[in-house]
Structures are given as C-alpha cells and as structure tokens.
Amino acid sequence: MCPAPAPAGPPKRVAVTHGVASQMGARKKDEDRTSVGACRVGERTFLYFGLYDGHGGKGAADLCAAELHDVAAKRAAEEAKRAPEKRAAECLEAGLVAACWELDDRLGSLAVDSGTTATCLFVDADSSDGSCLLAWVGDSCAYRFDMLAGAPGRAPRGRLSTTQHNPSNAAEVSRMRAEWGARRELLTWESPTGASAGDGDDDARLAEFCGIFEARLRKKALTSGEKPMRPGLVADALRRERRIDDRLERENIVRKASFANLAGAAREKPSHDVAEAINLKRCDSTFTRRYGKSGQEGPLVVQGNWTRGDGASTVVTRSIGDWDASRAVVPEPEVATWPLAAADDGAGDAVFDRVILASDGLWDLVSPAAAEKMVRRVADPQQAAEKLLRAATRDSKNAGYGGCRFFSIFFGRRASLRRRPQGRHDRHRRRRQPEPRRPAAAGRVRVRALVARTDPSSHRLSDPGRGPGPSSHRLSDRGPSLFLF
C-alpha cells in the first residue's frame, strides 16, 4: 500500500528586514525623504520602500513621500477593475506610472517648481508566488544581488543595477531629442485628415500626430536595437508641455496687469527689457556643463532657456516636478520586476537577495561592487547600512563633498534566518565579527535604525518607537541616503 501523501504545509514566506542611514552634505540642505509601509492591491499586500532625493526645494519630495504609494495603489485598483486578467504586479506597474504623472501635475498646478527623484521598491512577500517591483525616476539608483550565487545547483539569478536618468545616458539623450523634435514638428504639421492647429480639436490633432510620430520611433528602434518608448509617452510629454505653457500664460497676464497699474500711476511706457520680463516664453533647451566657482569642470546638465535669462538646469533627465526646468524632463518611471519564489534549488531557500536603494551621494563615492562586498559580510541590514555610511563619509572627506541617504534590504526564507548550531570555533569567530563603533562628530551624522518585519496577521511593518503601521520618515539630509534590504 502506498503511503498517504503528506499534508501540504503553509506556503513559504519571504522574510524582509531593512536598515536605513543618512548623512547631510556640505550644503546642509534638508530635501531628502524616505517612506516605509504596506499597501493592498486586490488580494495582495505589498510592502513598499520609497527614497526621494529632492532638489530646488523640499515640496516635491514631501508630497511624494506622503502620497506616491497611496496614489499608486488606488490607480492599480482601478487598473485591476479595468483589466481583471492582469496580475497584481502588472496592475501596480500601471498604477505607479499613472501616480508619478499625477503627482507631477499636482505640483505644477500648485506652482511648486521643486523636483525630486523617486526610487520605490514594492515587495509581495506574503505568498508563495510573490514578486518584487522596482520603479525609479532620476539618478537615485538601486542595486540587487543574490547571496547564494555560485552555490551547487543554484541557477544564476544575476545582478540588477538600475540606469541613471541623466545626460550621460545615451538612451536618455536620444529620448529627449526625439521629444524636442516632436514639439517642433507638431508646430507646422499638416494632418492627413485636414485638422489644423487652433481649429477647436487640438486633442484629436495631437493624438493623430503622436500616433504617426511614435510609429516612426518604434520602427527606428527596431533597426537600431534601442529600447522602444512606452506607447503614448510622447503624447503625455506634449500634453504636459501644453499645461506648463498654459500656466505660464496665466502668470504673464498677472504680471502685465500688475505692471500696467504701476506704469499708469507713474505715467511711463515699458522699456523693451521690461516688456520681455513681463511676457516670458520658453525657448529650446540645451545640454551644457556646470562649472565650479574656481572653474573646475562639473556634471553635464539639461539647461532650460527662456526669452529672458536662463531657466533651471538639472542633472537629471527625468524627475517629478521641475516645471521650470528643461522641456522633456518627464516623470516617467522605468520599471523592473523579478520573482521572489523561484524553484527550490536544493540549498534550502529559493530567495536570498540583498538590495540597496541609494541617492547619488552614495554611488558617487562607493561603487556597486564595493557596496556588495561590504554588505555580503554583515548579517544585520542596519549594521550594513551604517557600514556603507562610514565608507561614504570617509570618502566624502577626501573628495570634499558628500550627502546621501539609503536603504539596505535583506530578503530570505524564514528558514534561512534560523541560527545553525554553533561550534567552539564559530563562537570565537562570532565574537570577533562586530566592528567597534566610533563616536560620530557632533552635528555631522544622525542615523535612525528601522527594523521592518512582515506580520502575517496584519501585513504591517513595525517601527520601534512609533508603533505599527506605515510611516514616512523625514531623515535630515546628512549625506548619502540608502535603504538596505
């Protein structure tokens, strides 16, 4: 008689722990934000970790840290109703794209011209077929590696390193030039159906033009081997420019009225320079380079140009906000996904990944390979985060600058977190492992430890000192920012 099959146990879950550290740079700005919590998409619960590197002010980073995950979850739920056949991760991807554009539009309509990068990791960790979704806008990068790479029978998972959205990225330069070309071509484009600009049906004319233009871009991408743009991206970028121009026109009307009242009281006619100042218009943007006060060469930037003086220049080619910056600096995120529950490889665990989310202040000083080497040797994510922070702080003193924030995130089956029996030599080795802590200089470094745990009953994250539930952390901009998982 064949033995009865063993009852199936509960599905394996992936344990997720993380640490966070930050250090303010020399300019003493407080524009970086982080957020940690959980959100639901359909029947799935996703843990989220968000890193936002603000510039030109803190308004954009504040808004994204407080609302991006909630807006993404709402738009994902709408996408699930619209397309029930899609998986939760696919709906969340569509929701994230929509949320980035929605918050960008809200910032512009409120006349908040600051901008922010966004690097967000969503983890479906409480099921046997979970996945990770990583989305990023700007130059705050993420790096993932497999702790079990090279183990016997282990299928190679490879590493994931996100690209930077900046003028040094050839694909980004090509995208921006294509969008600039689309704007110029649309001005004189004649529709095959006879629609023309200003005939009351501009939306239909724009959609018709973008359909033809994007088809041409897709054909070019196939022949050149480039990554094709998302369908509809050019149309979204041109509609965003139209909203920016509409806001600028309203501001010009207010400036003209204010000057007319002043000029009427003084009985003076406006000079040519004053007329330009009260009737601002955007001009073609350019790629240029910044230079320091002593003439040293700085980074490549995208320069926004106006009829009177230069506009804002940004080192990123994508950001949320920045309505006063260059054309084609759009809030479109890139997205990468990978499964958490791969087939069992015989090593006891299917997943044992570590992920670093960090602002450019860390990656300017510590290479991904060096960061991986340091993180591999540490068992606790908070200790790993502090170790990376010390390395970045040391190198920033030598380079004369600094400033970063980062997460360190560890993934692993719960079974992998159990301690194996320790022998006499292992006990001695364990005592020697912790590194001595050096006291931080007063006013230079402030680190707050966060320990995130998956709770099967509530699906919430726990933060010591705050109680359970989602939280948004305003860690002061003290240098590199990172999440380490």
* pLDDT tens per residue, range 267-283: 555 555 566 666 777 88
Neighbouring-strand partners of residue 15: 412
Residue 165, classified by CB atoms within 10 Å of its CB into exposed (0-12), middle (13-18) or buried (19+), is buried
CA 284 to chain centre: 27
Q: Please list the residues that pair with 41 across neighbouring strands.
A: 44
**Among candidates 166, 214, 182, which has minimal Cα distance to 318?**
166
CATH of the domain at 147: 3.60.40.10
User: What's the pTM value of the predicted model, to 2 decimals?
Assistant: 0.79
Domain interval for residue 409: 14-165+332-417+434-484
Between the CA of residue 147 and those of 56, 157, 160, 266, what are the distances in Å? 38, 10, 13, 74
Q: At what angle do helices 202-224 and 233-266 cross, to 10 degrees?
A: 130
Residue 314 pairs in a beta bridge with 302
> What phi and psi, each to the nearest 5 degrees, are found at residue 107?
-60, -45
How far apart, in whole angstroms, are the C-alpha atoms of residue 130 and residue 89?
9
Helix orientation angle between 59-82 and 88-109, rounded to the nearest 10 degrees:
140
C-alpha dihedral over 128, 133, 134, 136, to 10 degrees? -170
Strand pairing report for 115-116 and 310-314: unpaired
476 class by beta-carbon count within 10 Å (0-12 exposed, 13-18 middle, 19+ buried): middle
pLDDT in tens, 338-381: 887 644 444 444 567 889 999 888 888 889 999 999 998 888 88
2 within some domain? no
- pLDDT value for 437: 46
Same domain, 157 and 178: no
> How big is the chain, counted in residues?
485
Return d(Cα 209, Cα 188) in angstroms, integer: 11
Q: Are residues 156 and 181 in the same domain?
A: no
- 30 with 58, same domain? yes
Phi, psi of 413 (to 5 degrees): -60, 150
3 exposure class (CB count in 10 Å sphere: 0-12, 13-18, 19+): exposed
Average pLDDT over residues 285-289: 89
**Does residue 247 lie within any of the structural domains?**
yes
**156 shares a domain with 47:** yes
Whether 382 is in a domain gets the answer: yes
Which residues face 205 on adjacent strands? none
Query: Domain check: are 341 and 205 in the same one?
Result: no
Cα four-point dihedral sign 316, 317, 323, 327: positive
Neighbouring CB atoms inside 10 A of 396's CB total 23
pLDDT in tens, 185-239: 998 898 887 666 555 568 888 999 999 999 999 999 888 888 889 999 999 999 9
Would residue 211 count as lying in a domain?
A: yes
Instruction: Name the least confident of 178-187, 351-360, 468-477.
Output: 468-477
Give long-range contacts, CB 8 A cutoff, 24+ apart: 422-430.
none
**pLDDT of 414 higher than 50:** no
The angle, 0 to 180 degrees and rounded to 10, between the axes of the packed helices 381-399 and 368-376 is: 140
If asked whether residues 193 and 264 sit together in one domain, one would say: yes
- Considering the domain boundaries, does residue 312 fall inside one? no
Query: Where are the alpha helices (H) located in 279-435, listed in sequence order?
Result: 360-363, 368-376, 381-399, 424-432
Average pLDDT over residues 435-443: 41
| Statement: residue 407 has pLDDT above 90 | no
Looking at the structure of the chain, the number of domains it has is 2
Same domain for 161 and 176, yes or no, is no
Cα-Cα end-to-end distance for the chain = 48
Question: In terms of DSSP H, where are the helices of 190-232?
Answer: 202-224
In this structure, the answer to whether residues 218 and 248 fall within a common structural domain is yes
Q: Exposure of 389 by Cβ count < 10 A (0-12 exposed, 13-18 middle, 19+ buried)?
A: buried
Largest CA distance in the chain: 109
Residue 413 confidence (pLDDT): 47
